[in-house]
Amino acid sequence: MTLTGKVAFVTGAASGIGREIAAEYVRAGAKVVIADINQTAADAAASELGKDKAIGIAADVTDEAQVEAAVAKGIATFGNIDILVSNAGIQIVHPIEEFSFAEWKKMLAIHLDGAFLTTKACVRQMKKSGKGGSLIYMGSVHSKLASVLKAPYVTAKHGLIGLCKTMAKEGAPHNIRANVICPGFVRTPLVDKQIPEQAKTLGISEADVVKNVFLKETVDGEFTTTADVAQVALMFAAFPTNALTGQSLVVSHGWFMQ
Ligand code: NAD
């Protein structure tokens, strides 16, 4: 699968899953815009991939002006946007009554407003170029099922499936596809932070959080890796027709089976 001549705009690509997707896309021949709220980390990720292949741009995906400016800078640098990976995300875990309204709104803003704002800016370019494109949303197994302590995350990740299905329909006449990737637990900073938090809230050891909460329902007790997710992201980006659109693909060691 090749992405030669393609340009990808990947949010949250300074760390974890997004960073691996950016690297996989460059290996497949794409140029990549690494858009992240963390400017220093975005610049570091871009320079690791090579200055002619990647650019780091500071952007908070919840801020419309910053998203518009980042997409414009990506187009000015590499000439187009063919692929959007809306991946930036955070996690906050509490029982519902301990969530502040501000935390709830922050979670929905990063995951859903971020997807909306980046979609809007990238779709405009995909239509203008006449080349179409691929919209990829980073969902989760939590786009399919729920876990305790994660009300806003589960709500937002389910919401991405609705946006994806809508974009599959709106995008089809313009050769724009939309799909969701739904990973199981991946060892990134986002997950590492949750282990002690969940141990404290649930009153169990950190080892038990991993074995009996995170990986309990997998077929083999294994974490999904950033490389696993990047392979799926490559497939969705490179797939050449509208035959594969409006889908959500779970990559989770069998934690959730369709
Ligand atoms: P991560 O913490 O390693 O990386 C997230 C990146 O997003 C960071 O670089 C961070 O700076 C950036 N970011 C945060 N808020 C931002 C904002 N407002 N604007 C722009 N960038 C912002 O996390 P990760 O595990 O790689 O998560 C990436 C995505 O994958 C998230 O959407 C997450 O929900 C999803 N996901 C993760 C897992 C997992 O187990 N790690 C599982 C399923 C889905």
Model confidence at 258: pLDDT above 90 = no
Task: Establish whether residue 69 lines the binding site of ligand 1, counting it when its CB lies within 6 angstroms of any ligand atom.
Answer: no
Ligand 1 neighbour 56 (Cβ under 6 A): no
Q: Is 81 exposed, middle or buried (0-12, 13-18, 19+ CB in 10 A)?
A: buried
CA distances from 153 to 35, 36, 113 (A): 21, 19, 13
54 has which bridge partners? 32
The neighbour count for residue 47, using CB atoms within 10 Å, is: 12
Residue closest to 44 by CA, chosen among 62, 23, 65:
23
pLDDT of 125: 98
Regarding the beta carbon of 18 and ligand 1, being less than 6 Å apart is answered yes
Mean pLDDT of 171-175: 98
pTM (global) more than 0.85: yes
202 or 123, greater pLDDT: 123
pLDDT at 85 over 90: yes
Ligand 1 centroid–CA 16 distance in Å is 7
pLDDT tens digits, one per residue of 205-216: 999 999 999 999
Instruction: Name the catalytic one among 9, 78, 137, 153.
Output: 153
- 25 catalytic per annotation: no
Q: What is the pLDDT of residue 238?
A: 98
Query: Which residues, other chains included, contact 153 with Cβ-Cβ below 8 Å and sequence gap of 6+?
Result: 91, 92, 93, 107, 111, 140, 142
Residue 187 CA, ligand 1 centroid: distance in Å: 11
Helix-, strand-, coil-residue percentages of the chain, each rounded to 5: 50, 15, 35
Query: pLDDT (tens digit, 9 = 90+) per residue, 53-76?
Result: 999 999 999 999 999 999 999 999
- Check whether 142 has a pLDDT greater than 90: yes
CB atoms within 10 A of CB 207: 10
193: CB partners within 8 A, 6+ apart: 91
The residue nearest atom 6 of ligand 1, judged by CA position, is 12
* Residue 75 pLDDT: 98
Q: Tens digits of per-residue pLDDT, 4-34?
A: 999 999 999 999 999 999 999 999 999 999 9
**pLDDT(120) > 90:** yes
What is the per-residue pLDDT for 24?
98
Over range 110-117, report the average pLDDT: 99
147: Cβ contacts below 8 Å, ≥ 6 apart: 154, 213
> What spacing in Å lies between the alpha carbon of 130 and ligand 1's midpoint?
31
* C-alpha to C-alpha distances, 118 to 124, 135, 164, 175, 252, nearest whole angstrom: 10, 10, 13, 18, 26
Q: Among 17, 60, 192, which is best to mutate for testing ligand 1, by the most ligand atoms less than 8 A from CB?
A: 17
Distance CA 184, CA 137 (A): 15
Please give the domain boundaries of the chain with CATH numbers for all domains: 7-184+225-251 (3.40.50.720)
CA of 11 to the centre of ligand 1 (A): 9
